[in-house]
Amino acid sequence: MSGRCARLLARGAARLVCAVLLVALFGQGAAAQWRAEWDRSIAAAEKEGQVTVYGPPGIGHQNAIGAFQDVFPKIKLIYVAGAGNNNAQRLVTERRAGKYLADLFIGGSGSIIDVIFEGNMLEPMPPLLILPEVKDQSLWFNKTHIYADAKGQYVFMMQGNVNTNLAAYNTQAVRPDLKSHLDLLNPRWKGKMVAYDPRARGHIQNVRALYHNPKLGGEFFRRLFTEMDVAISRDQRLMIDWVAQGKYQLSVFSSNNDVFDAKKKGLPIDIVDAPDDESYMSGGFGHVGVVNKTPHPAAAKVLLNWLLSKDGQLKWQEKANDNSLRTDIPKHMLSDPTMIPKEKGRYINSSLPQYQDIDAALKIVDDALNKSGKR
């Protein structure tokens, strides 16, 4: 090898070593930077001493958020449990009175979007994310952060449950041959079904998913409530009891949780699954937003990052029995494996903003029930 070639190789090797060192130093600098910001945030949060969450009423959700207290004992957690519409109205009333008490709002996509987001009461979330494992979108379903608001930065969807529930039936009777929601329009089911009233808004995701499904849409609702002599109820457990007792053969729009609870209690009840393209994924109570003008901004930031971390989402999944959209945590503890979304599933994500307008669907239902004399 000539001396000139040797010198060139030596220079190339030196450049490579320098490049590697620079990358390593940059990585160390970035790590030091986020750690310093995280430490400052924790110190400031402990100085504030409190964080207030307006969240779902279920004990599982309360216990999931309550695990934060064990990790950060110097930050007192105040959890205000309530239905989304009640907590949203509470927040609005407080702010009108000049009281700024809430730091985070967690719940279904309805109230947090229609009231809190539309009322300009939330902070943009990306600037509040500190932990690299939270910011790393490759660790989340479909390798992205999913936001339920139209601007894509205010309402984080941290959970995603797939709902394949076509109808609930009595297992002591013959299993119904249902392959599609359209099969519910078969005359054999006329007068033999009870349905949860879509206008009650208690399980609005069903309406969103079916109305915006090109196979079903408003025509499905019109025919179901006009032609099929469907009994209407706003009591989920009563509906299931009726099917278990044989009063009705099918319960439509039943809550999965109520069906599974009834099964655990020994009632002869189970679910017929819909095909992928008629199933849907929703965030359930797993939507989180950080309230603006928060009284404890540092504590809100710490709680948010902990909640979206691997440890926080594992607690949420374990305690609430809801599927976290983080893909780097085990799923074996979930009671229903069908709630875990498939990577290439064809279901609608009914929490997304393009599916949130259902006024037309509810008018169709209302008109159909009026026509059938079941207002």
Residue 199's domain comprises 165-278+356-371
In a domain, 35, yes or no: no
> In Å, what is the CA distance from 123 to each residue of 75, 129, 157, 361?
21, 12, 15, 31
Contact 168, 271 (CB under 8 A): yes
Residue 156 structure tokens: 């984080």
Q: Residue 61 pLDDT > 50, yes or no? A: yes
Task: Clarify whether residues 71 and 187 are in a common domain.
Answer: no
Overall domain count for the chain: 2
pLDDT in tens, 195-216: 998 888 666 788 889 999 999 9
Q: Binning pLDDT at 50, 70 and 90, where does residue 2 land?
A: low
Mean of per-residue pLDDT scores for the chain: 90
Distance CA 335, CA 300 (A): 31
User: In the prediction, which pLDDT does 344 show?
Assistant: 76
CATH number, domain at 58? 3.40.190.10
Q: Output the pTM of the full model.
A: 0.82
Tell me: the pLDDT tens digits for 288-315? 999 999 999 999 999 999 999 999 999 9
DSSP string, 285-311: T-EEEEBTT-S-HHHHHHHHHHHHSHH
pLDDT of residue 25: 46
Question: pLDDT tens digit string along 72-121?
Answer: 999 999 999 998 889 999 999 999 999 999 999 999 888 899 999 999 99
Cβ pair 112, 120 in contact under 8 A: no
- C-alpha 109/C-alpha 209 separation (Å) is 14
Quote the CA–CA distance of 289 and 41 in Å, as a whole number.
18
Identify the CA nearest to 182 among candidates 223, 232, 229. 223
The reply to whether 269 and 310 lie within a common domain is no
**Whether residue 257 sits in one domain with residue 313:** no
- pLDDT value at 19 more than 70: no
In this predicted model, what pLDDT tens digit does every residue of 253-269 receive, in sequence order?
988 878 888 988 999 99
How are beta strands 231-233 and 269-273 bridged, if at all? Answer: unpaired
Q: What is the mean pLDDT of residues 38-67?
A: 96
Per-residue burial over 224-247, b = 16 or more CB atoms within 10 Å of its CB, e = otherwise: bbbebebbbbeebeebbebbbeee
For residues 368 and 295, give the distance between their C-alpha atoms in angstroms, rounded to a whole number. Answer: 48
At 13, is the pLDDT very low, low, confident or very high (cuts 50, 70, 90)? low
The answer to whether 290 and 304 are in contact (CB under 8 A) is yes
Do 253 and 365 lie in one domain? The reply is yes
Residues 366 and 242 in one domain: yes
CA-CA distance, 311 to 286, in Å (whole number)? 16
